[in-house]
Amino acid sequence: MAGCATRFNVARALKSTEVTGPEPFGRFHLRELLNTGGMSEIWLVVDERSKPYALRRLKHDLRFNFTARRRFKRGCEVLSQLTESDHIVGYVEHGKVSGTLYLLMDYVQADNLKELFARQDSVLKENVAQILIDAATGLSHVHESGYMHLDFKPENILVTRNGAVRLIDFDMAQPIPEAPVKFAKNPGTPSYMAPEQLKREPIDARVDIFAFGVSAYELLTNEKPFPGDSPGEILAAQMEPAGPVPLREHNPDVPPALEQVVLKCLERDPARRYALSGLLVRELQGALYV
C-alpha cells in the first residue's frame, strides 16, 4: 500500500489545527494534525520530495514517561515486523527526533470504523460484507505473523471511501503464546474483551476473535452484544446463560449463516470459538458468498 494516503479519523473540529507553514520535524514538514489521543498525535507530513505520509509521534509531555515510551516503541516494532498486507497500515520507519519518538506510515485517506458508524456513513451499507471479510483477513495476517492484536475494535479499523480496510495501533500487541498465558497487566478495551480477559485468566489469540465478533455484531445490528458501563457489568452480561440476543432479532436482513459465524466468535468458552482466524475468514466468505 506504499504511496497510498492515511487520513486517520479526521474530525471536522481538527481543521483549526492545520499548519499554515511548513513546520519542521526532523526531515519532515508538518502539514495537518489528523488526530490526537491520550498518548500520541498523528500528523499529515511531507518529506523533502513533498511525498505525503502519516506520522504518529509521542506527545511532548510524555517524553519522560517510560511506560508510554515502551508501549509506543512496542507498537512500532510490531508493525515493522508484520509482512506487507493490503489490510494493515503500511510501515515506513520509526525512530526519534530530538528525543521525541515517531512512527512513519503510509498515508491512506480513510476514517475509522467507529466514526463512520456514528454518522451511519453510506460506505458501511454499501461495503459491509467486504469490510467484515477484510477486517478478519487483516487480523488473520497479524496472527500468521505471530502476534495477537489485543485491542481490536472499530477505532482501530480504518475504512477508505471505496470500503478498503487497514488495521492500525499495535501498541498492545504481544507474541502469540504456545499456550494461554496470564499477563501482569490487562491490555485492551473492556467492551471488546473476552470473558477470560475480564476475569484476568490466561489468554491467547482467540481473544482477538471474540473482539472481532463484538465489532461485527455492532456493525450489523447497531447494538452491543454485551451492554454495560463497567467491566463488571459487561462480564455479567457475557455470563448470562442465554448468550447474546441473536443478530437477526435486531436486524432480520442479516443472513442466517453470517449470524452463526458472529455468534461462534462470541462464544463464552474460547474452545468453542474459531481456533484460527484463517478459519473465520473462510467461514465469512462462505456466509457472504464471496
What is d(CA 208, CA 271) in angstroms, rounded to the nearest whole number? 13
* Cell matching residue 247: 443478530
Instruction: Give the amino acid at 242.
Output: A
Q: Pick from 128, 187, 176, 174: which is nearest to 154 by CA?
A: 128
Let me know: does 174 contact 148? Beta carbons within 8 Å.
Answer: yes
Beta bridge partners of 24: 29
Active-site hit among 106, 151, 169, 208? 151
Angstrom distance (rounded) from CA 55 to CA 247 = 39
**What is the C-alpha to C-alpha distance for residues 213 and 77, in angstroms, rounded to an integer?**
27
Q: Are 103 and 75 in contact (CB under 8 A)?
A: yes
Q: Is 151 a catalytic residue?
A: yes
Contact of 18 with 33, CB cutoff 8 Å: yes
What are the residue numbers of the active site?
A: 151
